[in-house]
């Protein structure tokens, strides 16, 4: 039996019909049409589906959609700034060559966002630790970590929403 629920994704309310078993990842992608959030495994092992739920990085492939009612969900599409400008984390990923195939990128960026929101001045260990649930097979992680460090710098200097 499908139920009609409301989900707050990136500040917009989406009215979606879901089963009890429907996963947030599938709803975000197929019902809300937000394809930035990726499915690399569907089993909670790769981090590609990371989104923020009430500011906390969570794996959308493990979350039931109905459990997310009344919560604020942020996907990678929600980071975009005024006039289409990139969020400092996104900009840093581009500038530092932290993107290759890009399939891990949205999840990485959301994990980084979760970290910097909580801890704008992370140590190298903090960053490594926070991103350890996100697999990237292309980059070897070095440039991703550099990008997060660079973004943290911009963050503490200029402040970000």
Partner 1 sequence: MADKDLKTKWNLTPGGWNLEGVPAYQDEKRFTQVGRSVPRVDGPVKVKGEAVYTGDMILPGMVYGKIKRSTYAHAIIKKIDYSKALELPGVLAVITGEEAPNKWGIVPQAANETVLAIGKVRFYGEGVAAVAAVDEETAEAALELIEVEYEPLPVLLDPFESMARAGEVLIHEDSPKNILHEGEQVYGDIDKAFAECEYVLEREFHTNYPQHGFLEPQTALASYDPQSGQMHLWASTQIPHYLHRQLSIVLEIPMNKIRVTLPAIGGGFGGKGEASIAEFVASLLSRKIGRPVSVTFERNEVFFTNKGRHPCHMKVKMGLDKEGYIKAIDFDNTLDKGAYSGWGMVVLFYTASMLHLPYEVPNVRFRGRSVYTNKPSTGAMRGLGGVQPRWALECIMDELAEVMGISPYELKMKNAIESSHTCINNMFVPHSEYKKCLETAVEKSGFLEKHGKLPFGKGIGIAGGYYISGTAYTLYQNYKPHTSVMIRVDTEAGVTLMCAAADIGQGCNTVMAQMVAEELGVHYEDVHVQSGDTEIGAFDLGSFASRLTYASGAAIKMACVEINQKIKETAAGMLGVRADQLVLKNREVYSMYETKKRIPWEKVVEAYTSINGSLVGLGNFSPPRRKGIDIVTGNRVQGANIGHSPTFGFSAQVHEVEVDVETGRIYVKKVTEAGDCGTPVNPMSVDGQVEGSIMFNLGACLYEDQKLDANGKHLNPNFHDYKTPTTMEMPEMDTNIVESYDHTAPFGVKETGEGAVQPTFPAITNAIYDAIGVRFYNLPITPEMVLKALKEKKAVEASSK
| 37 sits near partner 1 (criterion: CB under 8 A) | yes
Beta strands in 19-136 (DSSP E): 50-53, 56-59, 72-74
61: partner contacted, choices ligand FES, partner 1, none (Cβ within 5-8 A by kind): ligand FES
Q: Is 135 in the site for partner 1 (CB under 8 A)?
A: yes
CA distance 38 to 146: 23
For partner 1, the binding residue among 62, 64, 66, 77 (CB under 8 A) is 77
Query: How far, CA to CA in Å, does 64 sit from each of 4, 20, 52, 67?
Result: 14, 7, 14, 5
Residue 101 C-alpha from the chain's centroid: 17
Q: Which residue has the tokens 């707050």?
A: 8
Give the residue, chosen from 9, 16, 34, 40, that forms a contact with ligand FES under the rule CB under 6 A. Answer: 40
Which residues contribute to the site for ligand FES (CB under 6 A)? Answer: 39-42, 44-49, 59, 61, 99-105, 136-139
Which residues contribute to the site for partner 1 (CB under 8 A)? Answer: 29, 34-46, 48, 75-77, 79-80, 86, 90-91, 93-95, 97, 99-106, 109, 127-129, 131-145
């Amino acid at each position: 039996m499908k139920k009609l629920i409301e989900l707050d994704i990136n500040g917009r309310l989406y009215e979606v019909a879901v089963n009890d078993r429907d996963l947030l990842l599938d709803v975000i992608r197929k019902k809300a049409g937000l394809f930035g959030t990726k499915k690399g495994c569907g089993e909670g092992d790769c981090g590609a589906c990371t989104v923020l739920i009430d500011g906390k990085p969570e794996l959308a492939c493990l979350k039931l959609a109905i459990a997310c009612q009344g919560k604020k969900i942020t996907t990678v599409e929600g980071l975009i700034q005024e006039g289409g400008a990139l969020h400092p984390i996104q900009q840093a990923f581009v500038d530092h060559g932290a993107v290759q195939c890009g399939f891990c990128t949205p999840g990485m960026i959301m994990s980084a966002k979760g970290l910097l929101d909580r801890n704008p001045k992370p140590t190298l260990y903090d960053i490594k630790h926070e991103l350890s649930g996100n697999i990237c097979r292309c980059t070897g992680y070095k440039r991703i970590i550099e990008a997060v460090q660079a973004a943290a710098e911009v963050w503490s200097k200029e402040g970000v929403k």
